[in-house]
Amino acid sequence: MAGGSSSSSSSSSTGPSLVDSLFQRSLDDLIKSLRSQPVGAEPALLSRALAEIRREIRSPDPDTKAVALQKLTYLSSIHGLDASWAAFHALELLPSPSPLHKRLAYLAASLSFHPSTTDVLPLATHQLRKDLSPSSPPNFSSLALHLLSLSASPDLARHLAPDILPLLSPRASSTTTNTKNNNNNSSPLRPKAAVATLHALSLCPDVVPLLVKPLVDCLSSPDPRVVSAAVGAFAELVSATDPSPYLPLAPEFYRLLTDSRNNWVLIKLLKIFARLAPLEPRLAARLVDPLCDLIRRSSAQSLVLECVRTLFSGFPDHDRALRLAVDKVKEFLTNDDDPNLRYLGLRALTILGPRNSWGVVESRDSVIQSLADPDPNIRHEALRLIMGMVFDTNVVEISVMLVNYAMKSDPVFANEMLDAVLTTCGRNVYELIVDFDWYVSLLGEMARNPHCAKGEEIERQLVDIGLRVRDARPELVRVARDLLIDPALLGNPFLWRILSAAAWVSGEYVEFSTNWLELVEALLQPRTSLLPPLVRAVYIQAVFKVLAFCFSSYIDQLEASQVSSLGHSTTVGGSTIECNAASANCLSDDITGTESADGFATADKPASLLSLLEKKDPFFTRESLKRILYLIETAVGPLSENDDVEVQERARNVLGLIHMLQEIPAWKTEEEGFKKDKDNGVGKIMNLMQAMFSEEIGPVSVNAQKRVPVPEGLVLEENLSDLAMILTEGDIAPSMSISFTLRSHQHMETKDEAAPSVQSTYLLAEHRKRHGLYYLPAEKDETELNDFPRAYDPLLPVSHSDATEDLVKLTEQSLIPRKVKHTKPRPIVLKMDEGDGVLPSALTTVKESKDDMLSGAIHEVLLGNEGKPSSSQKGSSNKSSGRRMKGVSDNSESVPQSKENLDLGDRENRSSSSRRSQHRSHGKGRHRSSQNNEEKEEKSHRNSTRSGHHHERHEHRQRGETPLNAVPQAPAIQDLLL
């Protein structure tokens, strides 16, 4: 452990006779002791080692310090210990003349320095500058470049940019070579300097004028490594920022593409062209042939893949080339030996996007087969590809295929598929769905999947469709019935939410049910005891609704038979069953008509329900009612003692109604007497009940609350504690109106205690009358408040039209980004899942604002240099904008000079990127200047406008016939294109 072993190790101290260094453990010792430890003892050992290092690292002896730092580096990179506290000690060792110490110090620094949190970083500036200088050994400079490109902060990059410059330029590096490295004709530092330059540029756009030109020069270096590094740097710059400033370099890139035989370089060049080609159609035309050649000739799959991707993303209009690429992808997909190629083939097709969906259609078979691939990642990718290709024309086919396939698939992937179908079909309020009957039954089928764990979403969609899509309700009720009567489903906890939705649907839209007895039986079957209390409560509430509906229908039916017997002196019995089907459609209209017109207009109601009841009367015999009553009473009875309050409360509601009915003497007498009595007893109660449920709950816009005007005299800021008095007086809590399941409860309460609560209900009603427009139309206690006109009548028919409005609105909204997508050169299909992590999104927002600065600066340099190569960097950037000014006014005859001057004034304030877009829009100057204000506003929230910006620019490109001929960058491109 002590001196002996450390002197034998190559990396240990052999130095001064201090006690610390004599007994210092070397890295090897540390590793050995860590490895020989049992698993559990590691944390203790680590903390002991850390304490040791903390002591040793303060030693004045550089050897001891170096070993301590090395151990710490090991612990931090392998065992994840925090090393940021030792940043200063790493700095202390940086100036060491010993290559060993320097290397260790740089390694420690590059592993532990964090540009934003290491506060000692500025202290390194001087040492880095010294190590970068041409007089220091090349491997010192190399270490410094490493650290610089890993851990530099913007300030550090700004300060050291002039020091990178000599390493980047060929002359300086050759002098270095001559002095230090005679047998090598090119400095190994130049490629590294190119990469460091890339990072300096990305950190600090100020240094662009200084560094971009030498970086461009690197492209024509004879040393392939330098070219490779420079191309790599440009590939990153082009892909991370706005590509348009790099267009003038296209000829240079093109030359390299045709000359180079190096696959690494070719791949990077293809990345650059994938971004540049959409900007310049002539460039794309020029590139097609070399790309196709590469696909045909190259044996390197990585290169072929990159060609395919470039063609897919950058050349959507070149059918011949796309055909070749799609054929290649088909080869990938059918490659049974290499899962990588299958995966990448699917990914590539995803890039192809909806614009060229034929490519996917052609390889359809292999794509669908990939759903059964042994690799979950490939299956996932295939699913994503398929879902990206869903349109309203094929949504049925694809969804059915996936749902059926999910039956056979393994649980995880089955749910992934169900989720994909649910998300896609539910997108933008069911934008894709035309046939809701089909979709509703599909939802029912999903519930039948034994692995289905998507109960929550299916529940939401079932209820949501019920609320939004009137025409789907009959089918919805049918699907719900099928789910409810199946006792097997009750045992599956994943389906409980779906069953809850089914119960609610069949209660709420009970009028579409065909067999009420069966429904009640299903809702009360013994296995419902398996359900959790909340779902059970929904079941019982549904029973309540069914009961109320049956009774009121029965009474109306009696009434109707009276009417008809009076009018036509015929009996009702079974006379009109035949027209069942024929009037099924008008039936729903009739009902909703009455509901929406005047919720509780007793005069209208029997007339409209007449047609309904005549058809269904065979089901409503006195016996069937009695049967239902008996069934409910026996099944719900025990639940009135249930432990769960929700279940108990609802059970008692139902039982209360039944008891109330049974206490009315007329019920016990024969049918005739019952008929006569109906106006006083049963009929009245049932009308109340029916009225309670007859009104619809409609979807409410998210913004509804905002639309409520604040009435005069209402001070919203004031403390609302005064309301407590009113609220405690009655039993009505305002929150009840929100939940539909509570309605009956409220109603019963108000009915029973009508007298004491009159005041509060009065106040509430008054309030609603004034602002009722924006309440959910869920309140049903107008029975007591008939004397007040219903304030929210006008909005009632909205429930349907609101849904369509929503749809229209949403499609409009979804059209806007779609427009952008179409005019945008590269549909961003791949970014679908980018919002997943917080990290990437946070990064991109910051990135964008800076990217604009960066690409703007680069634009200035590259274009400025084309025109005035001799002028100094700063001057050229100013002059180039001035020169551009002239260009603008020359080219746009229609725009008066004064206008341009105005623009110039504005321009000073704007960043270069907007200058660019304006510049390009010459000939439309007038139009643009009217948008100036808008543009300025946009600037304030830059991160959201990036895509719009692209869009704009592209548009202008299309408007101006051949913009590139007029702008200064044209000459650069012309030698390539002509």
Partner 1 sequence: MNYIIKIHFVILLSRQGKVRLTKWYSPYSQKERTKVIRELSGLILTRGPKLCNFVEWKGYKVVYRRYASLYFCMCIDADDNELEILEIIHHFVEILDRYFGSVCELDLIFNFHKAYYILDEILIAGEFQEPSKKTVARLIAAQDSLVETAQEQASSISNMIGQATK
**Is residue 15 within 8 Å of residue 63, measured between CB atoms?**
yes
Q: Which is nearer to partner 1, 659 or 831 (CB)?
A: 831
Of residues 239 and 662, the one with the C-beta less far from partner 1: 239
**In one letter, which amino acid is 96?**
S
- Decide whether 221 or 892 has the Cβ nearer to partner 1: 221
CB of 19 to partner 1, least distance (A): 14
Residue among 313 and 687 whose Cβ is closer to partner 1? 313
**464: nearest Cα among 523, 495, 508, 494:** 508
Least distance in angstroms from the C-beta of 232 to partner 1: 5
Q: Which is nearer to partner 1, 376 or 532 (CB)?
A: 376
Nearest approach, Cβ of 159 to partner 1 (angstroms)?
Answer: 17
Angle at Cα 812 formed by Cα 809 and Cα 815, nearest 5°? 150
Q: In terms of DSSP H, where are the helices of 431-578?
A: 436-448, 455-468, 473-484, 496-508, 516-523, 533-568
Cβ neighbours of residue 95 closer than 8 Å, sequence gap 6 or more: 127, 130
* 583: Cβ contacts below 8 Å, ≥ 6 apart: 611, 615
Q: What is the C-alpha to C-alpha distance for residues 594 and 695, in angstroms, rounded to an integer?
A: 10
Q: Rounded to whole angstroms, how far apart are CA atoms 446 and 238?
A: 46
C-alpha span between 158 and 168 (Å, rounded): 16
Q: Which is nearer to partner 1, 26 or 592 (CB)?
A: 26
Tokens representing 757 are 């609560």
Residue 490 · residue 530 · CB < 8 Å: yes
- Closer residue to partner 1, CB minimum distance, 560 or 858: 858
Cα distance between the two ends of the chain: 75
Of the pair 66, 625, the CB lying nearest partner 1 is at 66
Contact 128, 105 (CB under 8 A): no
Of the pair 138, 466, the CB lying nearest partner 1 is at 138
Q: Distance (Å, rounded) from C-alpha 132 to C-alpha 278?
A: 40
Q: What is the DSSP letter of 178?
A: H
CB of 322 to partner 1, least distance (A): 18
- Least separation in angstroms between residue 347's CB and partner 1 is 8
Kindly write down the DSSP assignment for every residue of 593-641, as one continuous string.
Answer: HHHHH-TT-TTHHHHHHHHHHHHHGGG--HHHHHHHHHHHHHHHGGGGG
Task: Provide the residue type at 536 as one letter.
Answer: R
Give whole-number Cα distances, 549 to 511, 516, 557, 640, in Å: 8, 9, 12, 22
**Complex with partner 1: residue 228 or 694, whichever CB lies closer:** 228
Q: How far apart are CA 293 and CA 325, in angstroms?
A: 11
HEC-encoded secondary structure of 442-467: HHHHHHHCCCCCCHHHHHHHHHHHHH
Please check whether residue 793 is in contact with residue 598, taking contact to mean a CB–CB distance below 8 angstroms: yes
Least Å distance, CB 145 to partner 1, is 7
Q: Which is nearer to partner 1, 511 or 852 (CB)?
A: 852
Alpha carbon distance 329, 910 (integer Å): 46
CB of 221 to partner 1, least distance (A): 15
Nearer to partner 1, 837 or 971 (CB): 837
Nearest-approach distance from CB 312 to partner 1, in angstroms: 11
CA–CA distance, 159 with 123 (Å, rounded to integer): 12
Tell me the torsion sign for CA atoms 943, 250, 874, 887: negative
Q: CA quadruple 710, 715, 721, 723: dihedral positive or negative?
A: negative
- CA-CA-CA-CA torsion for 869, 875, 876, 882, nearest 10 degrees? -140
CB of 117 to partner 1, least distance (A): 7
Least spacing, CB of residue 98 vs partner 1, in Å: 5
Residues 6 or more apart from 16 whose CB is under 8 A from it? 61, 63
Minimum Å distance from CB 737 to partner 1? 43
Closest contact distance (angstroms) between CB of 270 and partner 1 is: 9
Q: Which is nearer to partner 1, 302 or 562 (CB)?
A: 302
- Report the Cα 769 to chain-centroid distance in Å: 41
CA distances from 787 to 461, 518, 784, 791, 952 (A): 38, 40, 8, 12, 59
Find the helix packing angle between 645-663 and 682-694, rounded to 10°: 150
Least distance CB 481 / partner 1 (angstroms): 42
Q: Which C-beta is closer to partner 1: that of 120 or that of 758?
A: 120
CB nearer to partner 1: give 154 or 734.
154
838-855 burial, b for 16+ CB within 10 Å, e for fewer? eeeeeeeeebbebbbbbb
246 three-class SS? helix
Distance CA 656, CA 664 (A): 13
Q: How far is the CB of 6 from partner 1 (least distance, A)?
A: 12
Alpha-carbon gap, residue 381 to 872, rounded angstroms:
52
Q: Which is nearer to partner 1, 6 or 876 (CB)?
A: 6
Non-local (6+) Cβ contacts of 544 within 8 A are: 507, 650, 653, 654, 657, 744
Write down the least CB distance from residue 936 to partner 1, Å. 23
Tell the smallest beta-carbon distance from residue 351 to partner 1 (Å): 8
Q: What span, in angstroms and rounded, lies between the C-alpha atoms of 20 and 125?
A: 31
Our CB check for partner 1 shows the closer of 240 and 885 to be 240
- We find the least distance from the C-beta atom of residue 314 to partner 1, in angstroms, to be 12
Q: Which is nearer to partner 1, 342 or 907 (CB)?
A: 342
Q: Give min distance, CB of 917 to partner 1, in A.
A: 21
